[in-house]
Chains A and B, each alone.
Chain A
Amino acid sequence: MRDDRGTLPATKLRHRSAIRRRAVPYVFVGPALLLLLAFGVLPIVVAGFVSLTDLDIAGLANRDNVSFVGLENYRTLLSDGDFWRSIRVTLAFIVIGVPAIIAISLAIAFGLAQGTNRWFRALRTFYFLPAITAIVAISLVWGLLYNTQFGLLNYLLDSVGLPKVNWLSDPTVAKFSVGIVAVWRATGLNSIIFLAAIQNIPQEYYDAAALDGAGEWQKFRYVTFPLLRFALMFVTVTTLIAWLQFFDEPFVLTDGGPVGATTSVSLFIYREGFSRNQFGYASAGTVALFCLILVVTATQLRLFRRNDAS
Chain B
Amino acid sequence: MPRSGTKSRRRFVIGVIMTIGALLTAFPFVWMITTSFKPLREARTYPPTVLPDEATWESYVTLFRDLEFGRYLTNTIIVVVVGFVGLAFMAMAGYGFARYRFVGKNVMFLVVLATLMIPVQVTLIPSYLILNKIGLTGTVVGIAVPTLVSAFGIFLFRQFMETLPDEVFEAARLDGAGEFRIFYSIVLPLSKPILAVQTILTFIAGWNSFLWPLVIAGKQENYTLSVGLALLNQQQSVNPPLQMAGASLMVIPTILIFVALQRFVVAGFTMSGLK
Contacts and interface: CB of A to CB of B under 8 A. Distances in A.
Contacts of A28: 92-93, 95-96, 100, 183
A140 B151 contact: no
A120 B92 contact: no
Q: Which secondary structure characterizes the binding site on chain B? A: helix
Contacts of A196: 266, 269-270, 274-275
Contact of A283 (B111, B126, B148, B270): B126
B121 A266 contact: yes
A223 interface: no
B226 interface: yes
Contacts of B145: 35, 39
A35 B4 CA distance: 56
Interface stretch (A6-14, A71-79, A92-100, A111-119): A111-119
Nearest to A40: B115
A270 interface: yes
Interface string A36-47: 111111111111
Interface in A145-192: 145, 147, 149-152, 155, 158-159, 184, 188, 192
Contact of B120 (A60, A108, A119, A245): A245
A285 B99 CA distance: 40
Given A134-B207, A269-B121, A35 B149 contact: yes
Contacts of B151: 36, 40
Nearest to A55: B129
Contacts of B247: 134, 136-138, 140-141
B26 A132 contact: no
Contact of B122 (A3, A108, A135, A290): A290
A248 B210 contact: yes
A89 interface: no
Contacts of B18: 108, 111-112, 114, 120, 123
A137 B246 contact: yes
Contacts of A103: none
Contact of A47 (B48, B122, B233): B122
Q: Chain B interface residue count: which class?
A: 35 or more
Given A22-B102, A141-B28, A145-B31, A36 B112 contact: yes
A289 B122 contact: yes
Contact of B31 (A1, A144, A192): A144
A225 interface: no
B190 interface: no
A35 B89 contact: yes
Interface of B: 10-11, 14-15, 17-19, 21-23, 25-26, 28-29, 31-32, 35, 43-48, 86, 89-90, 92-93, 95-97, 99-102, 105, 108, 111-112, 114-115, 117-130, 132, 145-149, 151, 154, 179-180, 183, 204, 207-208, 210-211, 215, 225-226, 229-230, 233, 240, 243-244, 246-248, 250-251, 254-255, 258-259, 262, 265-266, 269-270, 274-275
Interface of A: 1, 3-4, 21-22, 24-29, 31-33, 35-47, 50, 55, 60, 108, 111-112, 114-115, 119-120, 123-130, 132-138, 140-145, 147, 149-152, 155, 158-159, 184, 188, 192-193, 195-197, 199-200, 230-231, 234, 241, 244-245, 247-248, 251-252, 265-266, 269-270, 273-274, 279, 282-283, 286-287, 289-290, 293-294, 297
Sorted nearest first, the 5 A-B pairs with minimum C-beta distance are A28-B96, A43-B126, A32-B93, A40-B115, A126-B22
